[in-house]
Amino acid sequence: MSPYIMTPVIAFLVIIILYNTIKILKEYERGVIFFLGRFQRVKGPGLIILFPGIQKMVKVDLRVIVMDVPTQDVISRDNVSVKVNAVIYFRIVDPEKAVIRVADVFEATSQLSQTTLRSVLGQHELDDMLSEREKLNADIQALLDQRTDNWGIKVANVEIKHVDLDESMIRAIAQQAEAERARRAKIINAEAEKQAATMLSEAAKILATEEQALQLRYLQTLKEISNERTNTIVFPIPLEFFEPFMKMTKKSSQS
């Protein structure tokens, strides 16, 4: 064979060998090395040298992964059907477990997230789903983190994105909210009437014990009546109104 033909072939083989031998891993990557099919070690980042045909490397990304949980049909504890979707944030912390103990770590995490979401939310009532999302997020995150620990996964956060209700349930919630507002308004009015009655009762006691206060109140009432736009005003004058003057006159005559 001509040396002119052998040179390109040798160069091509050398390139293939170097490609399969030298690997460069980024800072956020790790390589799980297998030697003759058996786990050997985890390497990286940086330059990795492999023996082709003898060693094999599986690359693992250690960055935080954002995964959408598809919309799930959930029946709450008070038998309300809702559609819920969420998003989870997780990362691989143990590349060896993530490669060896589960065939597809991302698919397994997605399926487990769906079942965990339905399981946790199904134990709560609809009001909890709408008002206590932070607590539910924490519960789902803790349960997922515990279950995925054997796969070398760390679940950092879970966020419930939407809780969708049908039209009939939306109308029912609106009616409930309106009834609650009406109830609060009645309670406020009742409290106001109670306070007014208490103050009137105290005022009546003061007027009953203080003759001068009663007379001043009577004069104030006459002043308010005089401001009315009317031609004739008729008002009674109680005899008690003249008693202080009569007492003063009597004391003057005796002196």
pLDDT in tens, 158-198: 999 888 887 666 566 666 667 777 788 788 888 888 888 78
Q: What is the extent of the structural domain holding 113?
A: 65-170
In total, the chain counts a number of residues equal to 255
**For the chain, percent of residues with pLDDT exceeding 90:** 40
Residue 178 lies in a domain: no
Confidence of residue 65 (pLDDT cuts 50, 70, 90): very high
pLDDT of residue 100: 94
| 66 pLDDT higher than 70 | yes
* Same domain, residue pair 123 and 162: yes
pLDDT of residue 143: 94
DSSP states along 160-229 = EEEEE--HHHHHHHHHHHHHHHHHHHHHHHHHHHHHHHHHHHHHHHHHHH-HHHHHHHHHHHHHHHHTS-
Q: Considering only residues 6 and 33, tell me which one the structure prediction assigns the higher pLDDT.
A: 33
Structure pTM?
Answer: 0.64
| 241 pLDDT higher than 80 | no
Residue 133 lies in a domain: yes
* Same domain, residue pair 142 and 215: no
* Same domain, residue pair 27 and 71: no
